[in-house]
Structure 1
Amino acid sequence: MNQSCESSDDLRAYQHYVYIVVYSVILAPGLLGNVLALWVFKVYIRETKKAVVFMMNLAMADLLQVLSLPLRIYYYLNNTWPFGHPLCMICFYLKYVNMYASIYFLVCISVRRCELVMRPLRYNSSKRKGDLLVCALGWLLVCLCCLPFPLLRNQSPPPSEAGGSLGVCFLELPMRPVGVPGAWALLILAELLGFVVPLVLVLACTCQTAGSLRLSAAGAIPDRGEKRRALRMVLSCALVFLVCFVPYHITMPLDFLVKANALRDCAVRNLIRRCHPFTLCLASLNCCLDPLMYYFTTDEFWRRLSKPELPESMMFGRRLSCMTGGEDTEGEEG
């Protein structure tokens, strides 16, 4: 195979430039937005049932991804990795864990808001505890399913292509030999579990929530304003999913086949390698888009930022609730 088809200095420089620019742009807003989101959701975790547990976990996944960006920017700027091979593999692995955790919790948010619109009376305190279990199982499932990403990479530190001695990292880690049948099996499984099924669920929740607006006042929730707020949330989840994750899951299997040497045509290989960095950057862009989704679609988030005196009023509300002997506050917000 022609060496220029395999890896060229110009292609590597182009990929590094794309990563440096995009990661530098999303670092500050992604960090500030998700720290702010966790601060707000911590206040409201007991005051509402509108998928706040899932949004907190989504913000945590985004924040963990943002915290790894400085190391990635350093590598792409200097073309070398001085932090040791184990840390490289950890950062490489966590990139996929955080991305698929984000997909998982976007699905959970969509399902919860749709469920609250269609069957609001079925949600109670025991189900809230179930949400915590869903989050824990989700993290475990994502961590296990993402193990093939680092395991398919060469575990011995490779020599640096840029002339250094500390090796390459991230997507430039060499692939272990994988046969074409094995590569296709892994790709189909990854696309189904990590993309197709979540996409179908998000779109189904969007359609169901939108359809509930056409129901009469005798529907599941008489308050059309509540339905509109729920629809804004699930539409935002769908939009983030379509913008950030659909392009990546189109180029990801093609890039995998390139790295597994299952695609031989040089023109096709180079085209895929030039498109894949953009889609990978789009997948990271959700770190900035998710906080915007919280602000524009979540009443609690907007009120917390708009009214600094809200914590005192909430404390008064809690004391009043205790005096009246009810958990009415929990039942009122839906």
Structure 2
Amino acid sequence: MNHSCESSEALRMYQHHVYAVVYSIILLPGLLGNLLALWVFMVYIKETKKAVMFMMNLAVADLLQVLSLPLRIYYYLNNTWPFGHPLCMLCFYLKYVNMYASIYFLVCISMRRCELIMRPLRYNSSRRKGDLLICGVGWLLVCLCCLPFPLLRNPRIPDGVCFSELPMQPVGTSAAWAILIIGELLGFIIPFTLVLACTCLTAGSLRRPTTGAIPDLGEKQRALRMVLSCAVVFLVCFAPYHITMPLDFLAKANALGSCGLRSLILRCHPVTLCLASLNCSLDPLMYYFTTAEFWRRLSKAELPEGVTLSRRLSCITPQDSIDEGPAV
């Protein structure tokens, strides 16, 4: 690969401009939306039981990603990184940890909402405790699976360089394709397939009559809106990124023979990476428009003190608890 195929200064400035503009736009909505979501979920977690633990972890993942944006914005605006190589690699690593944690918890939310519609009697207090284990195992798996992102970057880099300019380690063709295939399967194809399956199953439940302990039609519709929202987030935010990600990997590894194709990929990939970060702002909207309890609390501005909350809960009858439980 000759020198003319390396990233030009014009390409570098284009990438920096795209990242700086988009990250600046999503910073405030993502920060406020996820802080508000965590506040509502923590106050009312005992009042509801449907996938709240997964929503809280999703909000944490989104919030952590948002909190790293100021450093990224500084770098892309000033074209230099004065904070040291270790912090650069940490921010670079956490970007992917938080993104794939978001994917993991979107799948968990979809599966739980589908399960509660298909088999509502199987969920109990022991299953709630199991949600904590699922969340902990999920974070551990995501952290381990995202280690190749920093490990594949060359540690010997010029001072002041970070993120999109981190050079790749030399990787053999077979190893590169193995990493790409495994990453695409575990990071997108399998999760997206599960979300689509949950969407189809939940939509199919609308055709069956509701009897006994089976949730009513309104609850099924709320569940369908939730899993549909998860599917939309996958399509809008994560599908474009996982289409360009293997191509970007090959381009930065100098495995493409065409300089024009390489330049096109390196110009498209920043846009899809920004779309992947957009989920930080979209997820709080999903909570508001698809979660009845979340919507009701915010629309009525009912975030009561602890005493008021206890008084309300003491007035809930067993039948009310059944009706209210699936709201989230």
Shorter-normalised TM-score: what interval? over 0.9
Residue 233 (str. 1) matches residue 226 (str. 2): yes
Q: Retained in 2: the 8 A contact 1:34–1:62?
A: yes
- Count the aligned residue pairs: 324
1:162 is aligned to: none
Give the 4+ runs in structure 1 shifted more than 4 A: none
Q: CA separation of 1:219/1:155 partners in 2, compared to 1, >3 Å: closer, same or farther?
A: farther
Q: Retained in 2: the 8 A contact 1:221–1:227?
A: no
1:223 to 216, 219, 230: 216
Amino acid at match of 1:291: P
Structure 2: unaligned runs, 5 residues or longer? none
Q: Retained in 2: the 8 A contact 1:97–1:142?
A: yes
* Structure 1 residue 287 displacement after superposition: 0.4
Q: CA separation of 1:330/1:64 partners in 2, compared to 1, >3 Å: closer, same or farther?
A: farther
Amino acid at match of 1:260: A
Q: Give the CA RMSD over aligned residues.
A: 1.7
Matches within 5 A, 1:18-97: 18-97=18-97
Aligned mates of 1:320, 1:270 — CA distance in 2: 64
1:107 is aligned to: 107
- What secondary structure is seen at the aligned counterpart in 1 of 2:304? helix
Cα displacement string for residues 23-49 of structure 1 (whole angstroms, at most 9, x for unaligned residues): 000000000000000000111211112
1:253 is aligned to: 246
1:283 to 272, 276, 287: 276
Structure 1: unaligned runs, 5 residues or longer? 160-165
1:300 is aligned to: 293
Aligned mates of 1:219, 1:238 — CA distance in 2: 30
1:163 is aligned to: none
Q: Retained in 2: the 8 A contact 1:154–1:173?
A: yes
Deviates more, 1:120-129 or 1:300-309: 300-309
How does the TM-score come out when normalised to structure 1? 0.93
1:211 to 191, 194, 204: 204
Aligned mates of 1:330, 1:155 — CA distance in 2: 56
2:311 is aligned to: 316
Residue 178 (str. 1) matches residue 171 (str. 2): yes
Aligned mates of 1:309, 1:288 — CA distance in 2: 23
- What secondary structure is seen at the aligned counterpart in 1 of 2:50? coil
Q: Retained in 1: the 8 A contact 2:199–2:227?
A: yes
Percent sequence identity is 78
How does the TM-score come out when normalised to structure 2? 0.95
Aligned mates of 2:204, 2:324 — CA distance in 1: 24
